[in-house]
Chains A and B, each alone.
Chain A
Amino acid sequence: MVARDTLPVYQDVVKWLAAEIKVEPITVPGRHAFYYYRPQDLADVLRPIVRRFARN
């Protein structure tokens, strides 16, 4: 998961990691600590992911 407006170093790490483990990164709105500004957004993005693993 990468914040859309985070610093390039984090974007580069996420690109590397996503390629390495073969997943598609999820982009969330805002900057690095977006959850301070947007706690609902973090909950909204995590809910379906965690729900999926609850079924497995």
Chain B
Amino acid sequence: MPSQKVSDFVQSNGARLYYEKQGSGLSLLFIAGSTGDAGNFARSAALLADEFTVVTYDRRGNSRSKRPEGWATTSMAEQADDAAGIIEALQLRPAVIFGASAGGPIALDLMIRHPRLMRAGILQDPAIFSVLPDPAAALAPRRALIQDTLKAKGPRATIEALMCYLNDDRVLTAIPADILERMLVMPTRSSTSRLRDSPAGGLAGAS
């Protein structure tokens, strides 16, 4: 019988992070990409909570996890340390990690630097573009889309355009309304955040 879902905040690596925890058994921690939050995986997490302890969270500066005072930029190492802090604080060790998109390199960094906290890592479409022969060329269409839309229509429209570019035009109706709204207001709060290179790889334009 899955335990009731807990929605709360946890102190991790100097940040106050929103998380949702449910179920029991081996721990599975979801890490969302650059525009998403815990809500990305809420429906999948609910389905898996009959067998596992499932935790989703909003990365620092995203959605319900507010920016720490004076915080303006981040790194893969910082993001991975945040996840490590969650694993420790919520006693999830050893956890299986699922990282999607920009969550992929965060999971990879976690695997490299905190192996004792983990049982395994699963990466989906990891945004580790530095391994490509010419990352700048590969990401040029995306950069142009972001720059052009930002200039012409502002941050909210840019996130919409990016989501459609990464998926299709149906994505804006596939995303639950509350998650979409958090996603679309986020750029006004954290558009200056940049994920820098880390041992896990570069993430320019990561999503």
Contacts and interface: CB of A to CB of B under 8 A. Distances in A.
A36 B41 CA distance: 8
Nearest to A2: B125
Nearest to B165: A7
B47 A39 contact: yes
Contact of B171 (A2, A33, A51): A33
Interface in A10-35: 10, 12-14, 16-17, 20, 28, 31-33, 35
B40 interface: yes
Given A42-B41, A42-B44, A13 B167 contact: no
- Name the interface size band of chain B: 35 or more
Contacts of A31: 166-168, 171
A43 B126 contact: no
Contacts, number: 110
A46 B126 contact: no
Contacts of A50: 26, 28, 48, 51-52, 96, 120
Contacts of B9: none
B127 to A, nearest CB: 7
B100 A46 contact: no
Contact of A49 (B33, B122, B139): B122
Interface of A: 1-3, 6-10, 12-14, 16-17, 20, 28, 31-33, 35-37, 39-40, 42-43, 46-47, 49-51, 53-54, 56
